[in-house]
């Protein structure tokens, strides 16, 4: 059975909420989750979209909807003091881990989201990424070297380009057997799609 | 108990889908639905947003998501040959009916949505609006005069301005006791909010 493909940006609150729900949904149907960190900034350059929180009139609604969505699913969420932040280093760390410490990827992804959206740690800083890596059982020095490695930098760039080529224009974004679902608010459909094979 | 406030544009497919679901949700909690036709074009001028179908990369995803959302709720939907269309006349007809034929408003709203999204009738034309009004038990001549009446034109303009003042930036948009929900994909939360009073 093909893994559920989960595309996300670490600075996206809806990606965080969805990241806390997707493991259970996938497991229920005997599927693994493949994590794909992307950079929404690069995607928005093409679509012309802006983060919802930056759109006229939309900020207040979106702040309330994020908090309400987290409470709906009983997921702790504290909006970070620094928001949004650059997620290049965190995303590169995941790219490095996918090649060099695949068993730790899940813990690294969840750890980075926890650091940012629960513990208010600014994960744009290498030091914060190193701490989370350590907790995930990864040698911090290897990660520090990894995120500077030209091959890893190229791997992330390729991953973002590939996502754009797949017409992924937002996050979180889930692909199940070729079918795309955009947004935390589509996860119940991901569940239903895995259950039924589509409708 | 205050009515559930439902804001929509007749040319919005997600508004159509939500219009087919909101009556039952409101009734389950002993509430009425108050219909508020608005003009998304006027709203988008302020937010700088464009219809999702016009955004780069988003068209194919959105077309598929609209059809999938309709099938999810077993709602017949045929994308109209002319899309989008001006909904000024249809919206004015509803404004007229709210003042002059309040008992027919529900049938008029559903009839206009049916004409456009099931029967592929171009409801930007007065003739199509007259036909639906007639089926809803409204005298077509009265509607023809109503949609030309300066007072009705002003009433729609005021309604749109009022919606913008409430920070309504999309459709469908539902307000329950002061809490806002944007999108057909938030209707399960409208249901839950009516049930629980919030969380």
Residues in chain B whose beta carbon is closer than 8 A to a beta carbon of chain A? 46-49, 55-58, 60-61, 64-65, 68, 71-72, 164, 167, 169, 180, 182-183, 185-186, 189, 192, 199
User: B152: which 2 tokens?
Assistant: 């009705």
Distance from A185 to chain B by nearest Cα, in Å? 7
Reported pTM: 0.94
Give the per-residue pLDDT at B14.
Answer: 98
Q: Tell the residue number behind the tokens 């802006």, with chain if given.
A: A50
Q: How confident is the model at residue B48 (pLDDT cuts 50, 70, 90)?
A: confident
User: Chain B residues with CB inside 8 Å of A183's CB?
Assistant: 185
Distance from B46 to chain A by nearest Cα, in Å? 7
Whether B55 sits inside 8 A of A48 (CB atoms) is: yes
Between strands A33-37 and A4-8, the pairing is parallel
Whether B57 sits inside 8 A of A46 (CB atoms) is: yes
Q: How confident is the model at residue A1 (pLDDT cuts 50, 70, 90)?
A: confident
Distance from A169 to chain B by nearest Cα, in Å? 7
Give the CA radius of gyration of chain B.
16
Whether A167 sits inside 8 A of B57 (CB atoms) is: yes
Please state, in angstroms and rounded to a whole number, the distance separating the CA atoms of residues B99 and A17.
44
User: A3: which 2 tokens?
Assistant: 């893994």
Chain A residue with CA closest to B196: the answer is A72
Q: Please tell me whether residue B182 adopts helix, strand or coil conformation.
A: strand
Give the per-residue pLDDT at B54.
Answer: 78
For residues A113-128, average pLDDT: 98
Give the per-residue pLDDT at A54.
Answer: 78
Give the per-residue pLDDT at A56.
Answer: 74
In this predicted structure, the answer to whether residue A57 has a pLDDT above a threshold of 90 is no
Whether B48 sits inside 8 A of A60 (CB atoms) is: no
Please state, in angstroms and rounded to a whole number, the distance separating the CA atoms of residues A18 and A7.
10
The 10s digit of each residue's pLDDT in B95-123 is: 999 999 999 999 999 999 999 999 999 99
In this predicted structure, the answer to whether residue A32 has a pLDDT above a threshold of 80 is yes
Whether A71 sits inside 8 A of B185 (CB atoms) is: no
The 10s digit of each residue's pLDDT in A172-192 is: 999 999 999 999 999 999 999
In this predicted structure, the answer to whether residue B53 has a pLDDT above a threshold of 90 is no
For residues B69-91, average pLDDT: 97
Give the per-residue pLDDT at A43.
Answer: 87
Is ipTM beyond 0.95?
A: no
Q: Tell the residue number behind the tokens 């070729």, with chain if given.
A: A178
Sequence-ordered alpha helix ranges (H) in B48-149: 58-72, 88-100, 105-117, 126-135, 140-148
* Angle CA B54–A172–B53, to nearest 5: 10
Q: How confident is the model at residue A48 (pLDDT cuts 50, 70, 90)?
A: confident
Give the per-residue pLDDT at A93.
Answer: 98
Nearest-10 Cα torsion for B4, B10, B15, B20: 70
User: A34: which 2 tokens?
Assistant: 């493949």
Chain B residue with CA closest to A170: the answer is B58
Distance from A179 to chain B by nearest Cα, in Å? 10
Whether B56 sits inside 8 A of A72 (CB atoms) is: no
User: Chain B residues with CB inside 8 Å of A65's CB?
Assistant: 182, 186
Q: How confident is the model at residue B87 (pLDDT cuts 50, 70, 90)?
A: very high
Give the per-residue pLDDT at B17.
Answer: 98
Give the per-residue pLDDT at A180.
Answer: 98
């Amino acid at each position: 059975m093909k893994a559920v493909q989960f595309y996300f940006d670490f600075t996206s609150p809806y990606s965080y909420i969805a990241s806390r729900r997707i493991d259970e949904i996938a497991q229920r149907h005997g599927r693994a989750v493949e994590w794909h960190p992307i950079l929404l900034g690069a995607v928005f350059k093409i679509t012309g979209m802006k983060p919802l929180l930056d759109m006229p009139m939309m900020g207040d609604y979106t702040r309330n909807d994020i908090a309400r969505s987290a409470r709906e699913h009983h997921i702790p969420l504290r909006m970070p003091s620094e928001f949004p932040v650059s997620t290049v280093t965190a995303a590169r760390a995941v790219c490095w881990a996918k090649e060099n410490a695949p068993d730790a990827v899940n813990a690294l992804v969840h750890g980075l989201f926890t650091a940012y959206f629960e513990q208010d740690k600014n994960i744009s800083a290498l030091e914060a990424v190193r701490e989370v890596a350590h907790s995930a059982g990864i040698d911090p020095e290897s990660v520090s070297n990894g995120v500077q490695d030209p091959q890893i930098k190229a791997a992330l760039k390729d991953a973002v380009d590939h996502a754009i080529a797949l017409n992924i224009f937002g996050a979180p974004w889930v692909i199940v057997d070729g079918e795309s679902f955009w947004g935390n608010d589509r996860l119940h459909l991901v569940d239903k799609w895995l259950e039924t094979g589509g409708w």
